[in-house]
Amino acid sequence: MGSPGGSTVPLLSAIIVSLGLLGFYLKSKKKKEPEERQLNAFIEEFEVQPSPNPLPPLAPLPLSGLRFAAKDIFDVEGHVTGFGNPTWRATHEEAKSTAHVVTALLRNGATLVGKTHMDELAFSINGENKHYGTPLNSAAPDRVPGGSSSGSAAAVAAGVVDFAIGTDTAGSLRIPAAYNGVYSFRPSHGSVSAAGVVPMSPSLDAVGWFARDASLLRLVGAMLLPTPQTPPKRAQRVIFAEDLFGLSTAPREPVIAAVTGTLAKLNASARVERTRIGEFFASKVPSLREFARDGKDGMTGEEAVAGIREAMRGLQGWEFKQAHGEWVTSAKPDMAPDVASRVNAALGANEETAKKAAQVRRELRAALDALLTNDTVLILPPSPGAPPKRNSPPKSLDDLRNRAMQLVAIASLGGFPQVTIPMGTENGKEDGNPLAFSVLSGHGTDAMLLDTAVELSRGVTKVAEMYWKRGGREAGPRGAEHRAEEAKTKGNEALKAKRYVEAVKHYNEAIRLDRSNATYFSNKALALMQLGRNGDAEAACTEALNLDPKNVKALLRRGFTREQIGAYDQALQDFEHALVLEPANVQAKNAIGRMRDLGMTS
């Protein structure tokens, strides 16, 4: 948690680690169960035990009891890293040490249970491997799992492991997550150590992870990401990239309905906007002209987005050539035709194009970081649509791959963090294809992005289900949620006019219609405070905080009510908590100072 790829290590663990990794590795072969053979997620199964838990009364390690798998791109001492290709496996020796990220997870209590299949040389997004077969997509068994982190996503989706690690150069976490209906997190480039990971394109490679729920996704992040210097802010500005949704065949309306509906309940102060992000890139990233229409001066938004894809490909090809060109030439690996085609194209990459791509990367990073401040996120599709059918002819997938590369290139080339969030199926039925959306934020805002994923996960699937139950329509004017918002508006008007009893009445009506909206309880508390009903106001604030623990207004209002009734220590805790969430909050600072000056705390 303190530095990239690691966290605080208990003294006992530190002693054990100092004796060498073999000191705490206990490995045993495990016989495959029939359902796991059908799953085909693993290339090799074994167990690597974690560091031992500290003795009571110390708390167990954060990941104690959790099982994880690692893509066959991570080194594990004593095992050959296969990189998805049998020729690679045959020409490389067993790893002499274990990848940094794997060691960090073991130190924090997780058990490694094996290495998972991946696409050859990480050069595909389908998940089909001609040598090792195709892992089962539990969410859509007749369709591919996506790649290149195919086995890791499949193992998580099937429930064989609690979480799994993979890598993402050009969508290799985001696309499998969307296809398998699980969460994935691609962190800011360089924030998680890639030591002990076979490189594909070092400027684009990111070590990330999959999980079935957002809370575990965030917990793994707390073990691997650097500790934020300041508490992360809550996302207050949400931007839908409308033009990017046009690159996906998946329906956009349920995504928009689910995100806006969830924010209305859990974070009513958040602003939702729509933009054509390609036009932003066209105006803010001038070096894209080198990759749009052969360097022609003017470029459209569509050309700018396609240019980012081409810049990414130019950099990826050159770096793959630098890392593995000699091996490809000498070993002459057996590869699937589509993979061989991409490898051969990479071998023809040139340094001049890579340098131009690096300039695009710098400009893209600066432009999007300026737009995506530490409380702003971008919503976009993680994939170009439903997963293709298994064994589809490679040529039939060319258009899909081109659209996919446009969607994934923004985070890959810019080095931005991006989280993939599942939200049921495309038609709201069990047999529908998985539906997902993704959220992208500025470089280094990983903690805020993971918090946002947890917040959105509380409601998006439910709101999407309601969307489909209404026949694919958003809530109409007679819907309970709409009537609740009308009641809140009337309550706000009454509160502003100092008609406090009337305001409470309207807020009660809003709560009756929708008890899941923290804002209704918090606003009701403010009206009750004006009436001097501090006990009732405190209870309303507590209801709001049960729904939304980061509701600063509710914390401040409860603090003031507790101060009025003489519960000074509890009041101080509320004010201090509010200040942690919003370090610049003047009300919280003044309240803490006032209470301490008057000696109101023990």
Residue with tokens 């073999």: 22
Instruction: Let me know: does 457 contact 216? Beta carbons within 8 Å.
Output: no
One domain, residues 271 and 370 = yes
Q: Give the mean pLDDT of 357-361.
A: 98
Q: Are strands 271-275 and 237-241 parallel, antiparallel or unpaired?
A: parallel
Spot the catalytic one: 152, 172, 201, 522.
Answer: 172
Total number of domains in the chain: 3
Q: Same structural domain for residues 427 and 507?
A: no
Average pLDDT over residues 497-510: 94
Q: Is residue 232 part of a domain?
A: no
Q: In degrees, to the nearest 5, what angle opens at C-alpha 64 toward C-alphas 62 and 68?
A: 105
Judge if pTM exceeds 0.85. no
**Where is mean pLDDT largest: 390-399, 411-420, 530-539, 567-576?**
411-420
Q: Is residue 5 part of a domain?
A: no
Whether residues 118 and 164 share a domain: the answer is yes
45 and 103 belong to one structural domain: yes
126 or 33, which is more confident: 126
**Catalytic site residue 148?**
yes
Which position among 71, 356, 488, 524 bears the catalytic label?
A: 71
Residue 1 falls inside a structural domain: no
Question: pLDDT of 242-260, one tens digit each?
Answer: 999 999 999 888 898 899 8
Same domain as 408, residue 276:
yes
Same domain, 492 and 440: no
Mean pLDDT, range 153-159, rounded to an integer:
98
Q: Identify whether residues 256 and 303 lie together within a single domain.
A: yes
Query: How far is Cα 149 from Cα 328, in angstroms, rounded to an integer?
Result: 21
CB 310 within 8 A of CB 187: no
Q: Rounded distance, CA 390 to CA 109, Å?
A: 37
3-state SS record for 317-328: HHHHHHHHHHHH
Annotated catalytic residue, options 148, 188, 457, 522: 148
Where does a domain end: 446, 469, 492?
A: 469
Q: Where a domain ends, among 424, 445, 469?
A: 469
Confidence of residue 9 (pLDDT cuts 50, 70, 90): very low
**Residue 441 and residue 455: Cα distance in Å, rounded?**
15
Long-range residue pairs from 593-602, CB within 8 A, at least 24 positions apart, any chain? 595/563, 595/568, 595/571, 600/563, 600/568, 600/571, 600/572, 601/568, 601/569, 601/572, 602/568, 602/569
- Average pLDDT of the segment spanning 298-314: 95
Tell me, yes or no, whether 447 and 573 share the same domain: no
**420: DSSP letter:** E
* Judgement on whether residues 523 and 574 belong to the same structural domain of the protein: yes
Residue 195: which domain range?
11-224
What's the CATH number where 244 sits?
3.90.1300.10
User: Over the stretch 83-109, which tens digit does the pLDDT of each residue have?
Assistant: 999 999 999 999 999 999 999 999 999
Residue 3 lies in a domain: no
Is residue 6 one of the residues assigned to a domain?
no
pLDDT of residue 489: 87
Which of 181, 197, 224 is where one domain is finished? 224
Q: Specify whether 484 is located in the same domain as 447.
A: no
Q: Is the four-CA dihedral 50, 24, 61, 455 of positive or negative sign?
A: negative
Q: Which residue has the higher pLDDT, 148 or 598?
A: 148
252 in the same domain as 165:
no
User: Who's near 66: CB < 8 A, 6+ residues apart?
Assistant: 109, 110, 111, 162, 163, 216
Told to judge if 96 belongs to the known catalytic residues of this protein, a careful annotator would answer: no
Mean per-residue pLDDT, 199-225: 98
Indicate the range of 276-280, 330-334, 436-440, 587-591 predicted with least confidence. 587-591
> pLDDT tier at 401 (50, 70, 90 boundaries)?
very high
CA gap 177, 137 in Å, rounded:
10
What is the per-residue pLDDT for 428? 81
- Per-residue pLDDT tens digits for 172-199: 999 999 999 999 999 999 999 999 999 9
Residue-averaged pLDDT of the chain: 90
Tokens of 588: 């919280």
**Do 273 and 214 belong to one domain?**
no
559 falls within a domain: yes
71 is catalytic: yes
Residue 579 within any structural domain of the chain: yes
On whether residue 500 sits in a domain, the answer given is yes
